[in-house]
Structure 1
Amino acid sequence: MLLNRAIGRPRLPRGLCEPRAVLGKRFLTNNGFFRVSEEVREAINSNKPVVALETTIYTHGFPYPENLALASLLESTVRVNGGVPATIGILDGIAHVGLEPEQLIRLASSGGQPTTLKLSRRDLSYVGGMRLAGKNFNGGTTIAGTMILAHLAGIKVFGTGGLGGVHRGAESSMDISADLTELGRTPVAVVSSGCKSFLDIPRTLEYLETEGVFVGTFADGREGNVDFPAFWSRDSGVKSPTTIQNEIEAAAIIHAQHTLKIESGLHFANPIPADAAIPKETMDAVIAEALRQADASGVIGKDNTPFVLNKIKELTKGSSIPANRKLIESNVRRATIVARELAILENEQDEAQGRVSPSFTPAFPTSNLSSAQRLNNTPLGDTSPPSISTKVDTADVVVAGALAVDFSCDYAPFTDTSSPVDPAFHTSNPAIINQTLGGVAHNIAKAAQFLGASVQLHSAVGDDLSGRAALGQLGEDGMPTEGVKVIPHPARTAQYVAVNNSNKDLTLAMADMKILESIPAPTMDDMLRKVSSAQPKLLILDANWDSATLHKLIAIGQNSASTTTIFEPVSTAKSLRVLPSKPEYGPIVDIITPNEFELKALHDHAYATGLFDDPNWFATIDAIGIPSSGLRVALSVTTTPSIVDSGIPQQAIKLLPFFPTILTKVGPQGVLLTQLIEPEDPILSSPEHAQYVLARNTTGDGKVGGLYVKLFAPEVVLKDEEVVSVNGIGDTFVGALAAGLVKGKNVRDVVGFAQKASLLSLKSKESVSPELRKLRAD
């Protein structure tokens, strides 16, 4: 004991003192040197597609904060394409597989510090051991370091930038990257853009062959045996040992490798995207000069590569850097699609062998499709070669609009406060604050999905922490993310802050939804094309789009005879975006779902801009057949005198030429349906509905049969203390309405069901109550 105390002998953490049987497991469990994040651990256990990502590009490649932006982009790329990112790095001597956002920020910001190292296989035990001796090191893992840690965690696919190789002159210097030997002994599939062309590519391929490493290059639509890529250039002048047509083939090879228990890696070379590539002839001249300067400066060993890369950056006047980013993103995307296909193969094998199928559900409904069909489900934003289609699956319901992070702030006054209901302005108030994933379009889509409809959500998030969190939550909810675009900085993920009084009624809300108004034109065009190709039964749009984009989306619905378009106004100010700038003939959208304030805003704006002066508007109103005595008495019977006094049904009737079905949400009083009846609608002769048919066509107009007005009072009105949150109840109503309509129901038959669904969200802390799933049978 005295000797131990004198020399400061390190003691092993309790987590390392495990039975021998536990340490002998195929994959390493968490201990004092090794940590796998909860998300990655759950994904591996559920056989979800997981992609390993290295960190030397952050600690020794890009400066802060550019490295953090790149890290965010790559993780988002994995999530958008249906996978779970596992960024691997070392913090305080502990290897982390799946860095949390705070950890990633810490590692990225530590680049360039003397305690932040570049770590390969040989260095892992060193940094771990030094921690026990009181010396803490951080580190970015190289390809070799990332491979071994990924394998210890059970990850099979790894996306990175460029592979290390045999250096020129290695016959005398023996300078061979540890990446190659790691590929020879660790069964992880690495997707990269080949070797940097200042390496000896023929000898690199020869060395990999000696190590027993499979090497294949993606054809990218090219015919015959293609070249092994040279990082910045698509061709190297050296033919690839094997050509791979697509991600399906790559996944099949990986699956066979693991089934055969062959303990060596695989390398899939992915050529840099053509629009980012630097011609081989240009790079050959640049590299020759960079190598000449390295030789003249006497730079050798581990310092050689950084020196040459820096010279290449200088000689290309910085053009090598954006090319580098592009190829890394392309590789990570392709690695994710490979991982996704591998997960499908493994699940199919489990089912064939009678094992319980894991909980993984592919991001796209591909498990019953052929290889070619699955490749047609490549996610939005993919830069796949022209030979691979990017068609998105059809869906019953397509929702386009806001995806946001919601903050609900419920005023929770102290017992002795002078204001027991409303928060005070210009000061701090006690509150209960909840954070959820929301946004009008997201909530609508989620409600419809909970109720059994097949749904596509089209929206955008920023390349930031909130965006990553949003995509991750969508994945956990089982909602496809291929329609969600990731927009680079300075775009910000949408956020919504609701301040409610102690009765849970909205007092004030702040919304930052500008991201939908700042989507680059090419990205927006691609989204419009995807929405159009989905051919939905229902197209639901919220008013968070700018007016021009909103009307482009509306046109998609108008141009499809089989699509019903629903518009959710969102707010009084944004609701006006749906109205045209000048009188136009015909309905704008089929159904709108305003509250009474949004309805009034639409009515007043239409009046102020002269939309009610158009002859076509008069023709439709005349065709309804409103009696000369007016409708006040009839409206008071079918609604309530107070609603009629407020002018709500009168305003709705005047807007019917633009919106043939209007569902006005009037709070605790219910939902007011105001609707143009088509001439052939059997409701015109139905005794059950006779009291709600307030007018009938008398002009012979073939487009209008009459007017239907009915107030749907709620079955239950909750007490104040029963209300948990009002956020999302209107969105839940629209989502439930959609779920009923796609089943072939009429609006009149679905309103009561949608109110019932809204009641569940009113009693839930979630914007959309998970209890909605129980209503599927209804």
Structure 2
Amino acid sequence: MLRRFLNFRRPLHYSAPIVSEEVQHAVKNNIPVVSLESTIITHGLPYPQNLELANEVEHVIRDQSAIPATIAFINGSPKVGLSTEDLRLLADPASSGLPKHKTSRRDIPYVVARGLTGGTTIASTMMLSKMAGIKVFATGGLGGVHRNGEVTMDVSADLEELSRTDVAVVCSGPKSILDVPRTMEYLETKGVPVCTFNDGNAPFGKHVPGFYTRSSNVASPFEFSSPKEAASMIFASLNMGLDNGQLFCIPPPLESALDLNFINSIIEDALQEAKVLEISGKNVTPFLLDKIYHKTNGKSVECNAQFVLNNAKIASQIATELASLTKNESSIPNKNKAKFNPSLNTPRIPQKVEAVIVGSIAHDTMCSLQSGYIANDSNPGTHAQSIGGVGFNVALATHLASRDHGSFVETRLCSAVGNDLLGRGLMETMKSCGMATDAVSISENFPTGTYVSIHDHSGALVVASADMKVVENISIEHAMECLGKYQPRWVLLDCNLSNSLIDSIVKLEDFDVVIEPASAIKAAKLGKLNNLRIFPHNSVKLITPTVTELNAIFNEFHDNCLFDAYQNEWFPVVDSLGLDYNVRHALDREFERNDYLRPLLEQGFLTKTFRLLPFFNNIIVKDGKNGIIVFQIITDCDKYDNLIKGSKIIGSVSTFSFLTKGKPVGVGRIGVLVQHFPVLDVVPSDEIINVTGAGDSLLGYLFSKLSADSSWLTRLDSTRESYLINSMKSSAASLKSNQAINIDQIRQIP
């Protein structure tokens, strides 16, 4: 059994995107990188011309001392930086015999879920470029508003992506078969700067190019005359956190450009023919391109290839200049730019986000009844309104806990609000607390979450009602985009989320996960997950249930037969922890001696927790005024022989500390540490104002310390002990506040 424990197979996991080592190295070391889309390979040209052009474009970028990063979906996996085999698979349909899918933002879940292969459009290439940290992207022509788009509402997703994804797109303008004036109006409305390269061949520098032509006769809002000017615009946008893309239009080379009137006459004739033949919808574009190809005797394809190569060359030069600006920040044109001052009311624009909380945000209404209330009747009382939700509370506590103690933890809340007055109010409140709102999506389908609680005169909860449909419907796509963008060390989930979203996140291997059960009903979701892994490979490193929530988790595991399903992997861990009869008997005695803990024995509390430990190797049980009970799997137990005397860690304030010594395995001799920490500063009942944020404050404090440096969690030293004690101080501070999180006091806890 021990051999099975050490060698069981780990399940496969999806990670988005898969970035080549070359591209990772370049991004990390500020080497210029240019991303490339792949629909020109899968749908733009026939084989082998498409493969030849794909290789030639990459060579052009390398000739400019930049790194190419062609992007595509290969067997359902998004890849940034393709191998030779990947390019051939995309280019040659006969190599796999499978269809190649044109993959825009809309198509990604379908392509990934079915393990399909597809070329990326401008929209999906921008998304994956951003996730990989690439800021410059070269392509051929831009999608846009189609002719008669005011009637058909046929607008390319490329335009919407430019409005919300901060990647610069270098292209030859909107495709000539589109409605260029309306495309430019749409981009203006969305706040996307459009800038045309003036290569000295006036007057065309003042007009947006028309794909095959050097001018579309549509004025360009801005122009630039050097790659450095373009890079300065990109850098200024990034530095201000504008979060939108920029469009840089490069007229096709003089020697390959086609005449505007000639191309327009072909398009007009082809549109009339399409109308007669009743060709409509998505079939119009390939019909028009085919007509242009034949009417120009193939020159349109030659022109296309030449301007793609030219765009890649100039994009590489822009990326090189941007890398130089990033290296030497003082070279930005605005030399008087404001310096960041980490005050409470100033959101910080990060280079790296250490902590992401995926969870609920809601409008809270707390009603406090006077003494001696009557059920089923109206009662006098008071009420207060505030921003709340487990996710927000933990995020705010995490955000505040490290601000004044030299280890600032950059935090993001990934959540959703409705497109309503409450939602807008919550977003403004977040900003006033110094929190960024860029990971909070706006839902058109559900109202902002609300939580109404009724408390007795002592502050204890009587009953509460929550409407969290907007949070329960946070899309997997939105969460994955946030996680890919921020690449955090730790991710915290609250169980207001849907089962499918929790499952999708816990199966990833890119970060460690903490789960806050939120309530007994919602805690049961943990027993319905399909992607949990067993120690030492579990991604869920910590859960923080109450006693009631832990019982709910165990019951769901038991009822769904998860202990049986994981028997071959789960039992060897339990068997190796040293939980024999003598150890269990000694632990029982420790619980019997403790007035707070004695009742838990009758509930089978120890047995339940031990059985859950292989799934969640750190369990901190919150027991209100009785303190916290910590259960942890500890590796290399032998080194603590001189630290534990009897049932106490020397110098510990815990009522007892019990460490079992199990079997030596690959990670060292493992065992279970059980500790009870009492509340040292009990808040008198007459000083308790509300209890809604006590657990969230405790967890937020701990999460800030984990995200800064998680090594303390399994290190039996004074740092670990002080963090556990201070987390309860944070909890106590919230009890004395009208707000769920006591903003003034939590910042003072070291």
TM-score (normalised: structure 2): 0.53
Determine the structure 1 residue equivalent to 2:636: 679
| Deviates further, 612-621 or 728-737 | 612-621
Q: Secondary structure at the match of 1:738?
A: helix
Work out whether 1:636 is the aligned partner of 2:616.
Answer: no
Counterpart selection for 2:554 from 571, 586, 603: 603
The 1:674–1:350 alpha-carbon spacing in structure 2 relative to 1, beyond 3 Å, is closer
The 1:243–1:364 alpha-carbon spacing in structure 2 relative to 1, beyond 3 Å, is farther
Work out whether 1:656 is the aligned partner of 2:636.
Answer: no
The separation in 2 between residues aligned to 1:640 and 1:761, in whole angstroms, is: 24
The 1:199–1:477 alpha-carbon spacing in structure 2 relative to 1, beyond 3 Å, is closer
Work out whether 1:238 is the aligned partner of 2:218.
Answer: yes
Determine the structure 2 residue equivalent to 1:647: 604
The 1:712–1:423 alpha-carbon spacing in structure 2 relative to 1, beyond 3 Å, is farther
Determine the structure 2 residue equivalent to 1:450: 400
Counterpart selection for 2:713 from 746, 752, 775: 746
Work out whether 1:525 is the aligned partner of 2:498.
Answer: no
**Could you tell me how far 1:553 is from its partner in structure 2?**
1.4
Counterpart selection for 2:674 from 709, 728, 738: 709
Which deviations, in whole Å up to 9, do the C-alpha atoms of 1:486-509 show, x marking residues without a partner?
A: 12x222111111111111111111
The separation in 2 between residues aligned to 1:200 and 1:554, in whole angstroms, is: 44
Which deviations, in whole Å up to 9, do the C-alpha atoms of 1:500-549 show, x marking residues without a partner?
A: 111111111111111123245xxx32431331443323211111111111
The 1:226–1:509 alpha-carbon spacing in structure 2 relative to 1, beyond 3 Å, is farther
Instruction: Output aligned runs, 1:105-254, within 5 Å.
Output: 218-219=194-195, 225=205, 227=207, 237-240=217-220, 242-243=222-223, 249=233
The 1:697–1:508 alpha-carbon spacing in structure 2 relative to 1, beyond 3 Å, is same
Determine the structure 2 residue equivalent to 1:718: 683
Counterpart selection for 1:617 from 570, 583, 587: 570
Determine the structure 2 residue equivalent to 1:509: 464
The separation in 2 between residues aligned to 1:200 and 1:504, in whole angstroms, is: 59
The 1:670–1:200 alpha-carbon spacing in structure 2 relative to 1, beyond 3 Å, is closer
Counterpart selection for 2:693 from 714, 720, 728: 728
Instruction: Output aligned runs, 1:684-699, within 5 Å.
Output: 684-687=641-644, 690-691=647-648, 692=656, 694=658, 696-699=660-663
Work out whether 1:668 is the aligned partner of 2:658.
Answer: no
Counterpart selection for 1:494 from 435, 449, 455: 449
Determine the structure 1 residue equivalent to 2:367: 409
The 1:347–1:511 alpha-carbon spacing in structure 2 relative to 1, beyond 3 Å, is farther
Instruction: Output aligned runs, 1:447-596, within 5 Å.
Output: 447-452=397-402, 453-487=409-443, 489-520=444-475, 524-556=476-508, 559-560=509-510, 563-580=511-528, 585-586=534-535, 587=538, 589-596=540-547
Q: Secondary structure at the match of 1:238?
A: strand
The separation in 1 between residues aligned to 2:332 and 2:372, in whole angstroms, is: 57
**Could you tell me how far 1:281 is from its partner in structure 2?**
7.6
Determine the structure 1 residue equivalent to 2:733: 760
Does the 8 A contact of 1:461 with 1:494 survive in 2?
A: yes
Determine the structure 2 residue equivalent to 1:71: none
Q: Secondary structure at the match of 1:468?
A: helix
Q: Secondary structure at the match of 1:768?
A: coil
**Could you tell me how far 1:642 is from its partner in structure 2?**
2.7
**Could you tell me how far 1:611 is from its partner in structure 2?**
2.4
Q: Secondary structure at the match of 2:217?
A: coil
Which deviations, in whole Å up to 9, do the C-alpha atoms of 1:257-288 show, x marking residues without a partner?
A: xxxxxxxxxxx99899xxxxxxx989x99xxx
Which deviations, in whole Å up to 9, do the C-alpha atoms of 1:382-404 show, x marking residues without a partner?
A: xxxxxxxxxxx422211111111
Does the 8 A contact of 2:232 with 2:332 survive in 1?
A: no
**Could you tell me how far 1:689 is from its partner in structure 2?**
8.4
The 1:507–1:619 alpha-carbon spacing in structure 2 relative to 1, beyond 3 Å, is same
Q: Secondary structure at the match of 1:765?
A: coil
Q: What percentage of aligned pairs have identical amino acids?
A: 24
The 1:465–1:281 alpha-carbon spacing in structure 2 relative to 1, beyond 3 Å, is farther
The separation in 2 between residues aligned to 1:678 and 1:200, in whole angstroms, is: 64
- Letter of the 2:437 partner, please give it: T
The separation in 1 between residues aligned to 2:600 and 2:729, in whole angstroms, is: 22
Q: Secondary structure at the match of 1:219?
A: strand
Instruction: Output aligned runs, 1:416-427, within 5 Å.
Output: 420-422=371-373, 424-425=375-376, 427=377
| Deviates further, 649-658 or 402-411 | 649-658
The 1:459–1:774 alpha-carbon spacing in structure 2 relative to 1, beyond 3 Å, is closer
The separation in 1 between residues aligned to 2:192 and 2:563, in whole angstroms, is: 67
The 1:753–1:249 alpha-carbon spacing in structure 2 relative to 1, beyond 3 Å, is same
Work out whether 1:399 is the aligned partner of 2:363.
Answer: no
**Could you tell me how far 1:686 is from its partner in structure 2?**
1.4
Does the 8 A contact of 1:421 with 1:503 survive in 2?
A: no
The separation in 1 between residues aligned to 2:541 and 2:182, in whole angstroms, is: 65
The separation in 1 between residues aligned to 2:182 and 2:555, in whole angstroms, is: 73
Q: Secondary structure at the match of 2:336?
A: helix
Instruction: Output aligned runs, 1:318-337, within 5 Å.
Output: none
The separation in 2 between residues aligned to 1:199 and 1:422, in whole angstroms, is: 67
The 1:723–1:216 alpha-carbon spacing in structure 2 relative to 1, beyond 3 Å, is closer
How much is the aligned-residue C-alpha RMSD, in angstroms?
4.6
**Could you tell me how far 1:363 is from its partner in structure 2?**
4.5
Which deviations, in whole Å up to 9, do the C-alpha atoms of 1:451-503 show, x marking residues without a partner?
A: 1222111111111111111111111111011111112x222111111111111
- Letter of the 1:724 partner, please give it: I
Determine the structure 1 residue equivalent to 2:57: none
The separation in 1 between residues aligned to 2:689 and 2:632, in whole angstroms, is: 32
Which deviations, in whole Å up to 9, do the C-alpha atoms of 1:139-169 show, x marking residues without a partner?
A: xxxxxxxxxxxxxxxxxxxxxxx9xxxxxxx
TM-score (normalised: structure 1): 0.51
- Letter of the 1:554 partner, please give it: V
Which deviations, in whole Å up to 9, do the C-alpha atoms of 1:222-266 show, x marking residues without a partner?
A: 998474599xxxx9623427326879639989xxxxxxxxxxxxx
The 1:199–1:346 alpha-carbon spacing in structure 2 relative to 1, beyond 3 Å, is closer
Work out whether 1:434 is the aligned partner of 2:434.
Answer: no
Does the 8 A contact of 1:229 with 1:270 survive in 2?
A: no
Q: Secondary structure at the match of 1:545?
A: coil
The separation in 2 between residues aligned to 1:252 and 1:695, in whole angstroms, is: 55
Does the 8 A contact of 1:627 with 1:695 survive in 2?
A: no
The separation in 2 between residues aligned to 1:423 and 1:681, in whole angstroms, is: 59
The 1:430–1:718 alpha-carbon spacing in structure 2 relative to 1, beyond 3 Å, is same
**Could you tell me how far 1:571 is from its partner in structure 2?**
1.2
Q: Secondary structure at the match of 1:775?
A: coil
The 1:604–1:248 alpha-carbon spacing in structure 2 relative to 1, beyond 3 Å, is same
**Could you tell me how far 1:682 is from its partner in structure 2?**
3.8
